[in-house]
A = this chain, B = another copy of it.
Amino acid sequence: MAPAHACHRHVMLSGNVYRTVSDRCWDVPKRLADFTGMGLARQVLSPMPELLSYWLETGDAQPLLRYINEQTAGMVAAAPDRLVGLGAVPLQDLGLAVAELSHVMGVPGFAGVEIGSNVNGVPIGDPRFDPFFEACDALGAAVFVHALRPAGMDRLVGPPPLQQVLAYPTDVGLAAASVLTSGLMKRYPRLRLAFSHGGGTLGLLLPRLEQATRVFPALGDLPSPSAQARTLFYDTLVFDDATLRYLILLFGASQLMVGTDYPFNFREEAPVARLAAAGLDPSVQVQLAYRNAERFLGLDAGLR
């Protein structure tokens, strides 16, 4: 990182400024000070997705990800009742990924890992990743899928932020759809898998995919995509009350949990207040605010 304005640093990748971030990325007391205003009791820390480094040689990626996991472990250890960690694993090498997963799951305070929506262009539902998901299943690791190096970049007309704004949710939607069409949850029914940004565009792909299973013989054996989708988790990071209510209808009130993108600029400032503002039943607010996250993270069963 390189110095930037007060309390900020430039994240440098290959000598260029990738993103300018606030010290709330690594300063635990400052994070905790923000809890009250945001209505939070606990946060889950996950790596900035671009750091997942699937495109690096494994000899470079593995030590970098180990370093990131150690930093996350240090932050969680500083506030073990307030912070939970998600690790990073080098999915460009499934053997190394499983090894790092096993390591991370032995470190106090980790609930699982964050992975990208694709690995060097291959969506995460592709069966080649089964050994990794089998290990997640065996170890009880929660898997949070975040957009990364998305599809659709050549369909954008406008400034660079449109990557995050439009292509990220597009890639998350296609990644979630790939999980449904490959039958990943049929192979590993205990897997706990969550998708960023409300599942991106999945919601609007789902009814069409459901109808397609009734029309195309090649899709006739697919377990109901809508039923499958109700076994996945999603965050609430959609910035719109009507959209949140629509996702609850599609995915079920048991599958959504607060997401923030904190502390980046493009974040939800009042994630808990939004649940009330959206006019959700108090019991549904409790589910979305923490009950579902406890289930996804395995906190209900007791974190190591």
Interface positions of A (Cβ within 8 A of B): 118, 121, 123, 125-127, 151-152, 154-162, 164-166, 169-171, 173-175, 177-178, 181-182, 197-198, 200-201, 203-205, 207-212, 215-216, 218-219, 222, 238-240, 242-243, 246, 249-250, 265-266
Q: A162-B181, A198-B204, A212-B266 are in contact. Are A155 and B169 (CB under 8 A)?
A: no
CB of A100 to closest CB in B, whole Å:
24
Nearest 3 CB-CB pairs, A to B? Answer: A207-B240, A201-B201, A159-B218
Closest to A225 in B: B165
Number of this chain's copies in the complex: 2
CA distance A266 to B211 in the complex (A): 8
Say whether, besides A174-B170, A204-B200, A126 and B157 are in contact (CB < 8 Å): yes
How far, in angstroms, from A233 to B149 measured CA to CA in the complex? 31
- A167 CB to closest chain B CB (Å) equals 8
Contact A170-B169, Cβ < 8 Å, known A151-B155, A159-B218: no
Option from B169, B171, B212 in Cβ contact (under 8 Å) with A204:
B169
Given contacts A157-B182, A197-B208, A210-B239, contact A152 B174 (CB under 8 A): yes
Contact A177 B166 (CB under 8 A): yes
**How close is A28's CB to chain B, nearest CB, in angstroms?**
25
A222: nearest residue on chain B (CB-CB)?
Answer: B158
Q: Which residues of B contact A126 (CB under 8 A)?
A: 157
Contact residues in B for A201 (Cβ distance below 8 Å)? 169-170, 173, 201, 204-205
